[in-house]
Amino acid sequence: MKLPEAAQRLDRALKVAVKWMDVAREDTSEMFHQAEYTRDKIEEELSRVCFEMAVESEASRERAASSRDYTDEDLWAIARPAALSETLLRTYCTLRELDSDLFGDGSPRARYEVMGALMVAMDAANAEMERLDAAKPATA
């Protein structure tokens, strides 16, 4: 199954799971927790599919912008950390705008801790991109 179709299927399943949670909230605690677990698993899978779609988009952009002839494996090795870095940067910028009350104990430091973890992840993704860039052979 292609990624856009998988995302559509998971999006529909997520809507069903949310409705199930609404119904289960009025029923038993056990059923609600099962519905919540199912929703969480679907969200996790949907997030992975959406990220892979971002990687595909980055791979297409890289293939079009580069004069190098990449193997599919090389292209994915470049696209994955690039998409990760871009997504982490967007997440960091979003977190920067959120109220500190939404994080941990509500202190600004709790928010900065999360933002710091994202910065470390961005640094790792950027270092991987630089390592890959240094390792790829130059072509004319």
Q: Which domain holds residue 52?
A: 1-65
Tell me: do 44 and 18 sit in the same domain.
yes
> Looking at 37, 65, 93, which one is the last position of a domain?
65
Number of domains, the chain: 2
Q: What is the mean pLDDT of the chain?
A: 89
Tell me: do 59 and 76 sit in the same domain.
no
For a pLDDT cut of 90, what percent of the chain falls above it? Answer: 53
Tell me: do 51 and 75 sit in the same domain.
no
Average pLDDT estimate for 37-64:
94
Tell me: do 45 and 95 sit in the same domain.
no
Tell me: do 32 and 99 sit in the same domain.
no
The reported pLDDT for the residue numbered 140 is 44
Query: For residue 138, is pLDDT > 70?
Result: no
The reported pLDDT for the residue numbered 133 is 75
By 3-state DSSP, what share of the chain in percent is helix, strand and coil, each rounded to 5? 85, 0, 15
Helix (H) or strand (E) holding 25: helix 3-25
Tell me: do 131 and 82 sit in the same domain.
yes
